[in-house]
Amino acid sequence: MGKYTVFYNQMIFNMKKSLVFATILMMAVSCATTKQTPEGMVNPENKKEWKLVWKDEFNYKDKAQLLKVWESANGPEGHILCSRWEENIELGDGTLRLVNHKENRGGQEWTSGSIWTRRDFMYGYYECRYKIAAAPRTNSSFWITSRDKSKTPEKGLPFEIDINEGHYPSEYTTCIHDCSISGPRRKSNPGAKMYPGTDFSKEYHTYGLEWTEDEMVFYIDRKEFRRVRNEFSKSPAPLFLSEAILKWGDEKVTDTIEGTFMEVDYVRVYSRK
């Protein structure tokens, strides 16, 4: 065998070896970039599955800027122990706080805060990262509800979706309400869980909802908590962030509530690709 034949065969061998290596590398990269989210989890950062359509990181210069995006409650609230006011909203270091105060205003002994988006949303994945207020009988909530519950939308019924009503220290609560009926006949679908040893007021947690025409899937820290059929929540609605002092509960309302707050890091909305 001549030296040129040997050189040629060696060159062919090296080319084949390089081609095999390149193919393996391309397959590895492809697998890494198309890796599916594990079952029972949600990963909105996976750009192959989700698209970010709206967010608020609360990096406002002042409250006036915030209120161009959100509306604020300003008045008494008969179903809870506090009135809600713009003055109970605080901004700083990229977070939003809804603060509880013991002060007689609007005919009630306590005040707190509640805001909702000026725009409406419909279907997608909704996520909020926040800490709940650090006192019993408080309610720190992230929710969606129809603007006008007295009117029946073109599709479905007036509704409320509680993505989380957080109760100190360790209760996570979800619920869906048919708001076309009030009082004890009102149809609701609750689901709650206690997390012993966890204090939701000390560390941030994420609370999420995938809302589609057919079903709703609730998540805590991006792990699926429960899924239910969507029976009537089929129209656009704003997002709410609210703090409250409840009329009901096993523990008494005390002055330990003063100065406690719900602290929100971000709210994000995604659409599925």
Assess whether 178 and 129 both reside in one domain. Answer: yes
Same domain as 98, residue 67: yes
pLDDT at 37: 77
CATH of residue 137: 2.60.120.200
Which token pair is 169?
A: 């220290």
Instruction: Say if residue 22 is in the same domain as residue 59.
Output: no
Please indicate, yes or no, if residue 73 is contained in any of the structural domains. Answer: yes
Residue 32's pLDDT is 42
Q: Which residues contact 38 (CB under 8 A, 6 or more apart)?
A: none
**Beta strand 138-145 pairing with 188-194:** unpaired
- 42 lies in some domain: no
Q: Note whether 190 and 178 are within 8 A (CB).
A: no
Task: Say what the pLDDT of residue 182 is.
Answer: 80
pLDDT band at 24 (very low <50, low <70, confident <90, very high): very low
Q: Does one domain contain both 120 and 253?
A: yes
Find, among 135, 199, 206, 112, the residue nearest to 164 by Cα: 206
Per residue in 219-259, pLDDT (tens digit) is 999 999 999 999 999 999 999 999 999 999 999 999 999 99
* Nearest by Cα to 38 from 231, 194, 223: 223
Q: Quote the number of domains for the chain.
A: 2
pLDDT, tens only, 48-105: 999 999 999 999 999 999 999 999 999 999 999 999 999 999 999 999 999 999 999 9
Could you tell me the residue range of the domain that residue 18 belongs to?
1-35
% residues pLDDT > 90 (the chain): 83
Q: What is the pLDDT of residues 121-137, one digit of tens each?
A: 999 999 999 999 999 99
Residue 27 has pLDDT above 80, yes or no: no
Same domain, 128 and 29: no
User: pTM of this prediction?
Assistant: 0.86
Instruction: Compute the mean pLDDT over every residue in the chain, rounded to the nearest whole number.
Output: 90
Residues 67 and 108: their CA atoms lie apart, in Å, by 24
The helix/strand/coil state of 272 is strand
Alpha carbon distance 54, 269 (integer Å) = 5
24 with 63, same domain?
no
Same domain, 100 and 206: yes
